[in-house]
Homo-oligomer: A and B are copies of this chain.
Amino acid sequence: MTRRIEIYDTTLRDGAQGPNVKFSSDDQLRVVAALDALGVSYIEGGQPGSNPKAVELFARARDMDLKHARMAAFGSTRHPKSAVEDDANLKALVSAGTEVVTIFAKTWGVHAKEILRVSLEENLDLVSESVAFLKAEGRRVILDAEHFFDGYNDDSAYALEVLRRGLDAGAEALVLCETNGGGLPHQIAAATRAVCEALPDAVIGIHTHNDSGCAVANTLAAVLEGAAHVQGTVNGYGERTGNANLCTVIANLQLKMGFDVVTPAQLERLSSTSHLVAELANVTPRDHAPYVGRNAFTHKGGMHADAVRKLKVSYEHVNPELVGNRTLIAVSEMSGRSSVIQKAAELGITLERDDPATSAVLARVKGLENEGYEFEGADASLEMLMRKARGECASFFTTESFRVRVSHEKGDLISEAIVKMNLPDGEQVFTVAEGAGPVDALNNALRKALEGTYPEVRDVHLEDYKVRILDGKLATQAKTRVLIESSDAVASWNTVGVSGNIIEASYVALLDSIEYKIFRTRSNSKEPGEA
């Protein structure tokens, strides 16, 4: 029987410490849903004791129907000066209402003494009492042993005693945290081995950072020595050089080392999960990322495509489909027929393999991907594209012209937009509106033009607006991808636009959003965004 490894994701807590990694409240829920579908065991949502956003997340996550994952609230052992039952942090952890609570404890004597200002013995009591308190409140408890490896090097007996106190008080996993990063695999292996020998009945966990470029290898080394609980973040986000990249760790454990981590179907979600989290965090995906990166299975032009196909095993360390990625020949080769058909089915559209409409959809997707489109986070745009290619969607309006003007004069900043739209009955509407900025003005003008004929556009709210510069090196001449999230009373949906001009890219995404709403209202189909 293969050994089971449980995955503990901390993208929303430790990952969000990374520079420029930010998730809105709605984005956090989308990350939770994606992680659950990927099959992780735990999702750490943040510190309810210090972060109101985490409190909100735990409250909202309670209404989600999670299939695999358990939410974990994160905090510290009790304050040295509080009684355990009065400790504000522990109380906040309990009121987060999660099944699992993770608390971190000092394992390194110098930190206990210099930062907590407690004796070594008192520090042990903090651990015992805090774990026992949370257990008594009915929580499953995970103990993160902060600075474990530094502490172990400094005083191995004390570091082990911290773990033992956690275990005795009821912690179900003891996590060796390499807080400073910078360890090397042979060092991590030796310490983990010693811990697993000293505490043979405990579930030992590992939490690494990438300061020596070995976060993944350090994690694998600990698992080989007996660790059965692995912490990390999607895409390796985290402060400084980042945390262990769970995308790489999961694939290595499952495909290379034969551990039981997630199901094959869950593993196929690895690449799309990586992409989705990057999009939501508004961080450019790392094309060179192992397994999930756009270039991870890209073979260069010089090599003949047939040769790669024939001797694939010589050029690919694993089959990319196992992790939801694909072989790319040449600079960019687009989604194959099967993945488009699969995606269409997800959106409720049946595409037949040999139908000419399927070829039309495929050609259109490839063409747009060449221009810089990515439909990963823009299902509504993809659905409209498919329905139009199949002739399922009437034309509700066309644009005759649009204009946007921003002027700054004598301290006044004015943004104004003008649109001229053609409606199906031959009518032409010509409207002007102001806004907080050029895109807001455009949105206002567009709604004013269309709401007479399509009153449902009044219900559309723009929820989120994201801008990504595709080739930053071209500076202000670079292509821009705009992602817009819209909602009405019932659902929310996402659309995308790409152009060398940010105003045009925004306009395209706005039009898609409005068209989607009108289509959904007027077809007898399900509500917008409903799965």
Which residues of A pack against B, CB within 8 Å? 17-20, 24-26, 50, 108, 110-111, 114-115, 147, 150, 180-186, 210-214, 216-218, 220-221, 224, 236, 239-242, 245, 248-249, 251-252, 256-257, 282, 284, 287-291, 293, 295-298, 300-302, 307, 311, 314-318, 330-331, 376-377, 399-410, 413, 415, 435-440, 442-443, 461-469, 471-473, 475-478, 480, 484-485, 499-504, 506-507
Contact = CB atoms under 8 A, between A and B. Distances in A.
B466 A469 contact: yes
Given A24-B472, A184-B256, A240-B295, A439 B502 contact: yes
A17 B315 CA distance: 15
A242 B288 contact: yes
B314 A110 contact: yes
Contacts of A218: 217
Contact of A501 (B410, B437, B442): B437
Listed residue (A19, A50, A295, A468) with the most chain B CB atoms within 10 angstroms of its CB: A19
B290 A241 contact: yes
A372 B76 CA distance: 30
Given A111-B314, A466-B469, A330 B477 contact: no
A501 to B, nearest CB: 4
A413 B241 contact: no
Contacts of A287: 19
| Closest 9 pairs between A and B when the two form their complex, measured CB to CB | A182-B317, A217-B217, A462-B475, A213-B248, A464-B472, A437-B501, A440-B476, A401-B409, A467-B467
Contact of A472 (B240, B376, B466): B466
Given A184-B256, A185-B220, A217-B214, A501 B376 contact: no
Contacts of A473: 24-26, 282, 284, 463-464
A81 to B, nearest CB: 19
Contacts of A214: 214, 216-217, 220, 252
Given A211-B317, A296-B211, A408 B403 contact: yes
Given A403-B408, A438-B503, A440-B475, 10 more contacts: A211-B296, A212-B216, A241-B293, A415-B501, A436-B500, A437-B480, A437-B500, A462-B475, A462-B476, A464-B475
Contacts of A216: 212-214, 217
A243 to B, nearest CB: 10
A435 B500 CA distance: 10
A404 B184 CA distance: 54
B464 A147 contact: no
Given A239-B301, A301-B17, A213 B180 contact: no
A251 B464 CA distance: 34
Given A437-B480, A502-B438, A241 B289 contact: yes
Contacts of A110: 311, 314
16 contacts: A17-B300, A19-B287, A25-B473, A213-B291, A214-B252, A241-B288, A241-B290, A400-B409, A436-B501, A437-B500, A437-B502, A439-B476, A439-B502, A463-B473, A464-B475, A466-B472
Contacts of A284: 472-473
A49 B221 CA distance: 42
Classify the secondary structure of A's interface with B. mixed
Contacts of A245: 213
Copies per complex of this chain: 2
Listed residue (A287, A297, A317, A400) with the most chain B CB atoms within 10 angstroms of its CB: A317
Nearest to A469: B465
A329 to B, nearest CB: 13
Given A212-B290, A256-B182, A501-B415, A443 B476 contact: yes
A296 B241 contact: yes
Nearest to A419: B408
A74 to B, nearest CB: 14
Given A221-B185, A468-B282, A476-B435, A290 B211 contact: yes
A210 B406 contact: no
A501 B438 contact: yes
Nearest to A182: B317
A409 B291 CA distance: 45
A466 B467 CA distance: 8
Contacts of A408: 399, 401-403, 504, 507
Contacts of A224: 186
Contacts of A108: 314
Nearest to A287: B19
Contact of A252 (B212, B290, B462): B212
Contacts of A19: 287, 295, 298, 300, 330-331, 376-377
A250 to B, nearest CB: 11
A213 to B, nearest CB: 4
